[in-house]
Amino acid sequence: MTTRVLPKVPEFPPVELDLSNEDIPIVRWEDGSYRFKGTRVLLYLVAEGLASGMSAADLVDCLPSLDQADVERVAEFYFRRKPEVDEFVRIIEEQGEEVMTAVLERQRLMGAPGWPKK
């Protein structure tokens, strides 16, 4: 029996956002990601949406597991600390291609439907 070695999916970059004085529903997971409490929704997805001009209501339409009041609180945080959060998003996007390549290769090796086996 052959043992497959799956490629490691890189963790989120070691970027720290100091949220200690913030009253927002964002928590940091063990993998380094910042997510909305009680969901798997990433802060950087909402920050990207806000940066592109989406409203809290638009974001809730796209991400229905989020509460509009929570998104509005995070939007206030985002616009108050925009340069810092935008830099965080930029670093994550830099790593995005590497992460996606590793995820897709893991899915292929695990025999996910639609993937040809090598």
CA distance 9 to 118: 20
Identity at 28, one-letter amino acid code: R
What values do phi and psi take at 107, rounded to 5? -65, -40
- Residues for the chain: how many in total? 118
CATH class, 26-102 region: mainly alpha
pLDDT of residue 102: 73
* Average pLDDT value for residue range 97-111: 71
> What is the reported pTM?
0.72
Angle value at C-alpha 62, between 88 and 52, nearest 5 degrees = 45
pLDDT of residue 1: 56
Tokens 């200690």, residue? 20
Pick from 21, 82, 17: nearest CA to 29: 17
